[in-house]
């Protein structure tokens, strides 16, 4: 049994104590967003009560305190990811914002007509559309690493797609719609053998497994604060210093400059070069609280706990008559997608909701994945450190009840 004190953890999350339609809440929509522990809420409030002021500008006491707290958060995140330096951590609004930043800057700095950008068949829209926009702008081509019926990347096809024209590979670490954990080490090794940088979308990874950017040797890695128990509107871009130094800035404005005249602006050093304007100061500081909370529980412990939950869920769901999994990856994390008979996922979702069970239905911002499986959407159950075996039992009982009504 993993060293996780589930009772204590659940008490730390106020929203888990809420009732829905008078029933205890079963929250299985963690891939969309996680609930927040009390310490994150307290940190947000503490900031506005005791620290509120702008960062990097004032000589006064409050501004210095706020700046120190903001920069401490950067240090905590750098150490959480094992980045070489805090300067390699850029605060953003989230995964979407981080990917748009890299797509825009990389496009401007590195992409010529005829170049190729590789993504995979299982990307979230936020790791497709920014690259599509950039390719359109630069006259480059977006190519797709295909997947198979299990929802796993076809590695021979990936290798065959590599060429001197490929300038960057942007790939999800863990699929939000299928739960697939991709063989990112192999992909990065093959890419680097050809000097191609890799961006990993770790939006569904950092909250479920240890992520070490030096061990992965990844060039860019992005995630959202709100999916790792932190506030919405916060996110991270990790980038190797040599890449971040080399790329042009994304947005212009205050903080990202060293000097400005109407003739010319000299840009600031890292990380400020990529942080134009007043950032989400309270959010960044509360994100640190979330990450410290995760570190305290231990990412390895969370991983071990969730692996048991996912195995149990797969085993129990499998016994439901007419249920089929969408994606059967050998290596899965965090989420399970499925359909029951030809019941529309939305109908099943509604009847589960009435039983106090929150799951996600639909295309999960991955329409190409749904197109591949020729389905309108899936029902997705997704897990967090506070998920229990009882939650899964209620889900299974809820599906049986709903299916009996809908058949």
Q: Is residue 130 within the footprint of ligand PMP (CB under 6 A)? A: no
What are the two backbone dihedrals, phi and then psi, of residue 126, each rounded to the nearest 5 degrees? -70, -10
203 binds ligand PMP (CB under 6 A): yes
SS3 352: helix
Instruction: Collect all residues with Cβ–Cβ distance below 8 Å to 216 and sequence separation of at least 6.
Output: 184, 185, 188, 200
Q: Which stretch binds ligand PMP (CB under 6 A): 104-112, 122-130, 188-196, 386-394?
A: 122-130
C-alpha closest to that of 227 among 21, 32, 15: 32
Active site residues: 365
Closest CA to 221 of 167, 275, 169, 288: 169
Least distance (Å) between residue 208 CB and ligand PMP: 12
Contact (CB, 8 A) for 364 and 378: yes
User: Tokens in use for 381?
Assistant: 């159950």
DSSP state, residue 364: T
Residue 126 makes contact with ligand PMP by CB under 6 A: yes
Cβ proximity to ligand PMP, 73 vs 382, nearer residue: 382
Question: Among the candidate windows 120-128, 135-143, 182-190, 265-273, which touches ligand PMP by CB under 6 A?
Answer: 120-128
Minimum distance from residue 204 beta carbon to ligand PMP (Å):
5
Question: Binding to ligand PMP by residue 172, rule CB under 6 A?
Answer: yes
Encoding tokens for residue 307? Answer: 């692996």
Interface with ligand PMP (CB under 6 A), residue from 67, 180, 204, 361: 204
Total site size for ligand PMP, rule CB under 6 A: 14
Cis peptide before 271 (omega within 30 of 0): yes
Binding flag, residue 219, ligand PMP (CB under 6 A) = no
Contact flag: residue 120 with ligand PMP (CB under 6 A): no
If the CB atoms of residues 208 and 394 are measured against ligand PMP, the closer one turns out to be 208
Query: Could you give the CA distance from residue 339 to residue 51 in angstroms, rounded to a whole number?
Result: 49
User: Which residue among 30, 34, 67, 95 contacts ligand PMP (CB under 6 A)?
Assistant: 95
As a whole number of Å, the end-to-end CA separation of the chain is 39
Q: Which of residues 330-359 bind ligand PMP (CB under 6 A)?
A: none
Residues found near ligand PMP in the complex (CB under 6 A): 31, 94-96, 124, 126-127, 172, 176, 201, 203-204, 224, 365
């Amino acid at each position: 049994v993993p060293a996780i004190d589930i009772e204590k953890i659940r008490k730390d999350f106020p929203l888990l104590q809420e009732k829905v339609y008078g029933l205890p809440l079963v929250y299985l929509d963690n891939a969309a967003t996680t609930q927040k522990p009390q310490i994150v809420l307290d940190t947000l409030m503490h900031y506005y009560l005791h620290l509120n002021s702008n960062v990097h500008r004032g000589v006064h006491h409050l501004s210095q305190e706020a700046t120190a707290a903001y920069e401490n958060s950067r240090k905590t995140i750098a150490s959480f990811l094992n980045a070489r330096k805090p300067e390699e951590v850029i605060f953003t609004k989230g995964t979407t914002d981080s990917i748009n930043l890299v797509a825009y800057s990389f496009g401007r700095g590195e992409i010529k007509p005829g170049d190729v950008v590789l993504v995979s068949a299982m990307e979230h829209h936020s790791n497709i559309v920014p690259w599509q926009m950039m390719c359109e702008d630069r006259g480059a081509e977006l190519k797709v690493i295909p997947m198979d019926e299990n929802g796993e990347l076809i590695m021979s096809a990936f290798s065959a797609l590599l060429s001197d024209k490929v300038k960057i590979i942007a790939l999800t670490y863990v699929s939000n719609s299928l739960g697939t954990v991709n063989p990112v080490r192999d992909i990065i090794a093959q890419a680097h053998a050809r000097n191609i940088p890799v961006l990993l979308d770790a939006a569904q990874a950092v909250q479920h497994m240890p992520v070490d950017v030096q061990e992965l040797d990844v060039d860019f890695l992005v995630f959202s604060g709100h999916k790792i128990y932190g506030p919405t509107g916060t996110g991270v871009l990790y980038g190797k210093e040599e890449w971040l130094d080399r790329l042009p800035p994304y947005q212009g404005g205050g903080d990202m400059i060293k000097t400005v005249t109407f003739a010319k602006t000299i840009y600031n050093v890292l990380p400020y070069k990529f942080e134009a304007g007043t950032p989400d100061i309270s959010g960044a500081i509360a994100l640190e609280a979330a990450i410290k909370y995760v570190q305290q529980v231990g990412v390895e412990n969370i991983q071990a706990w969730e692996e048991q939950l996912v195995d149990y869920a797969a085993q129990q769901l499998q016994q439901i008559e007419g249920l089929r999994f969408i994606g059967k990856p050998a290596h899965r994390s965090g989420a399970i997608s499925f359909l029951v008979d030809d019941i529309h996922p939305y109908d099943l979702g509604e009847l589960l909701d009435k039983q106090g069970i929150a799951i996600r239905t639909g295309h999960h911002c991955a329409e190409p994945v749904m197109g591949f499986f020729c389905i309108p959407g899936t029902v997705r159950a997704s897990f967090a450190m506070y998920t229990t075996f009882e939650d899964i039992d209620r889900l299974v009982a809820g599906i049986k009840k709903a299916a009996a009504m809908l058949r």
